[in-house]
């Protein structure tokens, strides 16, 4: 895991390219505190900056930028290549090589030198983003892994093509090059308010985009001062295409061999991710996914696995007891900590300095603190990310088709009544009522019933979204959804596929990347292994969602590994009681950001509309709590950028 940055300056716009590269690399130091390197190639006018987090081969043989033994190609890479040992054997079979060390980066650059960038990228099984300069062909290529685990942004800035792991590096280039401050895209703000993150290839800055997952972006760099040709974008692995291929093959049979094959493919993915020259551990929640990962790690570990959990002083959001039970069953060396409102008050104002653009998944708070806790003991952690999207873990996959059927049969007045009733329940139901429903079995196994009622109301509500009208000059757009003609299974599968390609990439993976890398912690996700994903897309829906809940196949494996009584805690999600904190300890911070005076200085928000939402939230209308958090994230980011002189 590292941080990369670089540029192509075709017409010599930069007076000091090496100095500009150094400036771009500096704000990425948290991503790679162990080493740094620069390359400026005058022939092509291409340069790289690299910050290294040393995980495999801690010696100087892992230094980057790294040039292949032939001298033909140079790479600056971020991530890990889990099948590096296999590829190394394949390369040795082609020709004998004098390997300098045992880093996966050396395998990566030699594989590209041997097979070419596209063929090599197809063979890579890992998380990565890299920049490659082919000196002989004078071509710059950017690449990002197929799932989109590792970030990479790019764009033209004042005649310079620039790219980096984080937008902070591009803002530094704008500052030192005299290109001026980067502007803000109001459509991106609207996107943030609707989804809690900026989705797709868009970033907060117009003209700066993300490299699409599973693609190569190539640019010819003659270095002769001639006009630059637009980059060519080419896919080497597509999740959508692999999903379609799996559907064409047809689902696997739901029989005992399915569980055995699932265990085999996931176990191999875990074992691959345990290669490390530094201490390694795992995140452990109270749920099924992380328990499976930790149990499989224990098979391959020579000592007790280190596991880590963060909980809350709000019982509705706390999983530490369930996680401790899993840790005892598996036999891990377990560490946990509790987050209080005071802890949150201290960390929240720092969030937008960690995330390089506005980001509003409220679980960023516990994620950041979990990474801090884990990094105090190890430098690599395995997680259960991706299991829900692949194997039907979210409640909505089972519930949404039922609500969809209900909505189709309800006249409009009854639908509005149902929406109002669900929202009233979420806002007004006393704790004693919730406890009574649980005792009667009506809310058993449902974590945070109020929040689930809010989500059901939102799904039933025919209006677009509650973010409409808050950003000036941005008309409301349609919200794509499943086709009404879909069967329940097709609807659930559509949602899983959409989540895997969108919210997983734009939200969950961004959250864990920025939080972990701010602590120089590498996080590896076995469920996002290419082989595991391709296996899961052939798992029949009957092995994902049963009458008694989702993620049936995962639960069967968990019971096999941890005992037949293991069920994991109800699906809770890694949320946080943000709405409670905003109405108490964090209220002064929020009031300052959403005051009439502060909003009057914002060029993009409709100040009266925002104030009305904030006041309604304070009055108890909690259905806007995620929207309020998004507004605060945006306003906090603007404040941080302005105080740094970058906006």
Give the model's pLDDT for residue 448: 58
Residue 413: pLDDT over 80: no
Give the model's pLDDT for residue 396: 86
Q: Spell out the domains of the chain, with CATH numbers in brackets.
A: 2-237 (3.60.20.10), 240-574 (3.40.50.620), 577-647 (no CATH)
Give the model's pLDDT for residue 213: 98
Q: Using 50, 70 and 90 to split pLDDT, how confident is the model at 416? A: low
Give the model's pLDDT for residue 190: 96
pLDDT digits (tens, 9 = 90+) for 300-327: 999 999 999 999 887 777 889 999 999 9
Q: How far apart are CA 390 and CA 378, in angstroms?
A: 28
Stronger pLDDT, 360 or 403, i.e. the higher one: 360
Highest mean pLDDT among 224-233, 462-471, 489-498: 489-498
Give the model's pLDDT for residue 67: 98
Give the model's pLDDT for residue 235: 96
> 181: which 2 tokens?
């401050």
Q: Using 50, 70 and 90 to split pLDDT, how confident is the model at 343? A: confident
Within 103-215, where are the H helices? 104-115, 117-123, 167-177, 186-195
Residue 446: pLDDT over 80: no
CB atoms within 10 A of CB 126: 22
pLDDT digits (tens, 9 = 90+) for 275-306: 999 999 999 998 999 999 999 999 999 999 99
> 379: which 2 tokens?
């430098």
pLDDT digits (tens, 9 = 90+) for 420-437: 667 666 666 555 555 554
pLDDT digits (tens, 9 = 90+) for 248-260: 988 787 788 999 9
Closest CA relative to residue 330, chosen from 271, 284, 267, 372 = 284
> 609: which 2 tokens?
């509309």
Least confident stretch, 83-97, 201-215, 537-551: 537-551
Burial of residue 487 (CB within 10 Å: 0-12, 13-18, 19+) is: exposed
- Percent of residues, the chain, with pLDDT higher than 90: 70
pLDDT digits (tens, 9 = 90+) for 503-543: 999 999 999 999 999 999 999 999 999 999 999 999 999 89
> 578: which 2 tokens?
């943000």
Residue 103: pLDDT over 50: yes
Least confident stretch, 346-355, 551-560, 566-575: 566-575
Return all residues near 267 (Cβ < 8 A) that are at least 6 apart: 296, 299
Q: Using 50, 70 and 90 to split pLDDT, how confident is the model at 442? A: very low
Give the model's pLDDT for residue 454: 65
Give the model's pLDDT for residue 461: 62
Q: Using 50, 70 and 90 to split pLDDT, how confident is the model at 620? A: confident
Stronger pLDDT, 178 or 609, i.e. the higher one: 609
Q: Are 453 and 419 in contact (CB under 8 A)?
A: no
Q: Using 50, 70 and 90 to split pLDDT, how confident is the model at 441? A: very low
State the pairing for strand pair 209-210/153-157.
antiparallel
Rg of the chain's alpha carbons, rounded to an integer?
A: 25
Give the model's pLDDT for residue 439: 46
Give the model's pLDDT for residue 621: 84
pLDDT digits (tens, 9 = 90+) for 150-203: 999 999 998 999 999 999 999 999 999 887 788 999 999 999 999 999 999 999
Residue 444: pLDDT over 60: no
Chain centroid, CA 513 distance in Å: 6
Q: Are 450 and 589 in contact (CB under 8 A)?
A: no
Average pLDDT over residues 95-117: 95
pTM (2 decimals)? 0.91
Q: How far apart are CA 573 and CA 394, in angstroms?
A: 9
Q: How far apart are CA 523 and CA 521, in angstroms?
A: 6
Give the model's pLDDT for residue 471: 96
């Amino acid at each position: 895991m590292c941080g990369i940055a670089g540029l192509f300056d075709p017409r010599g716009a930069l007076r000091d390219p090496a100095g500009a590269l150094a400036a771009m690399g500096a704000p990425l130091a948290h991503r790679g505190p162990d080493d740094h390197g620069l390359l400026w190639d005058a022939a092509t006018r291409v340069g790289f900056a690299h910050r290294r987090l040393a995980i495999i081969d801690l010696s100087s043989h892992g230094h980057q930028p790294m040039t292949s033994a032939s001298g033909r190609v140079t790479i600056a890479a971020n991530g890990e290549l889990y099948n590096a040992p296999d590829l190394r054997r394949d390369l040795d079979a082609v020709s004998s090589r004098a390997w300098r060390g045992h880093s996966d980066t050396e395998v990566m650059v030699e594989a590209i030198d041997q097979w070419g960038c596209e063929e090599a990228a197809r063979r890579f099984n890992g998380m990565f983003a890299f920049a490659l300069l082919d000196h002989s062909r004078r071509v710059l290529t950017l690449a990002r892994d197929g799932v989109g685990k590792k970030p990479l942004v790019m764009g033209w800035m004042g005649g310079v093509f620039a790219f980096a792991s984080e937008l902070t590096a591009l803002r530094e280039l704008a500052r030192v090059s005299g290109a001026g401050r980067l502007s803000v895209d109001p459509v991106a703000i609207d996107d943030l308010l609707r989804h809690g993150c900026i989705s797709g290839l868009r970033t907060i800055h117009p003209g700066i985009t993300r490299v699409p997952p599973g693609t190569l972006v190539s640019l010819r760099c003659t270095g002769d001062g001639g006009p630059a040709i637009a980059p060519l974008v080419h896919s080497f692995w597509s999740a959508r295409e692999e999903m379609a291929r799996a559907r064409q093959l047809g689902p696997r049979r739901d029989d005992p061999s399915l569980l055995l094959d699932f265990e085999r493919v996931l176990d191999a993915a875990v074992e691959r991710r345990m290669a490390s020259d530094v201490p390694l551990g795992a995140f452990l929640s109270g749920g099924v996914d992380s328990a499976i990962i930790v149990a499989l790690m224990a098979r391959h570990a020579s000592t007790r696995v280190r596991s880590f959990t963060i909980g809350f002083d709000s019982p509705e959001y706390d999983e530490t007891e369930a996680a401790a039970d899993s840790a005892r069953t598996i036999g891990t060396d377990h560490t946990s900590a509790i987050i209080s409102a005071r802890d949150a008050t201290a960390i929240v104002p720092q969030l937008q300095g960690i995330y390089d653009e506005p980001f509003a998944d409220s679980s960023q708070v516990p994620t950041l603190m979990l990474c801090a806790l884990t990094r105090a003991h190890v430098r690599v952690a395995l997680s259960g990310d991706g299991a829900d999207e692949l194997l039907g873990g979210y409640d909505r996959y089972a519930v949404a088709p039922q609500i969809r059927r209900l909505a189709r049969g309800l006249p409009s007045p009854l639908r509005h009544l149902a929406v109002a009733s669900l929202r009233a329940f979420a806002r007004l139901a006393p704790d004693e009522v919730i406890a009574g429903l649980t005792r009667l079995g009506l809310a058993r196994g449902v974590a945070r019933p109020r929040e689930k009622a809010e989500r059901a109301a939102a799904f039933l509500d025919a209006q677009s979204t509650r973010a409409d009208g808050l950003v000036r000059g941005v008309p409301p757009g349609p919200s794509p959804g499943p086709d009404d003609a879909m069967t329940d299974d097709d609807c659930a599968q559509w949602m899983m596929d959409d989540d895997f390609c969108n919210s997983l990439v734009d939200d969950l993976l961004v959250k864990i990347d920025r939080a972990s890398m701010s602590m120089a912690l590498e996080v590896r996700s076995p469920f996002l292994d290419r082989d595991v994903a391709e296996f899961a897309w052939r798992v029949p829906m009957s092995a994902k969602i049963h009458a008694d809940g989702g993620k049936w196949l995962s639960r069967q494996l968990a019971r096999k590994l941890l005992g037949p009584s293991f069920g994991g805690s109800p699906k809770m999600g890694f949320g946080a009681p943000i709405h409670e904190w905003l109405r108490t300890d964090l209220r002064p911070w929020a009031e300052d950001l959403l005051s009439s005076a502060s909003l009057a200085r914002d060029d993009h928000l409709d100040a009266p509309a925002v104030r009305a939402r904030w006041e309604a939230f304070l009055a108890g209308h909690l259905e806007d709590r995620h929207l309020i958090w998004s507004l605060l994230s945006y306003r906090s980011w603007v404040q941080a950028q302005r105080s740094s002189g970058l906006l």
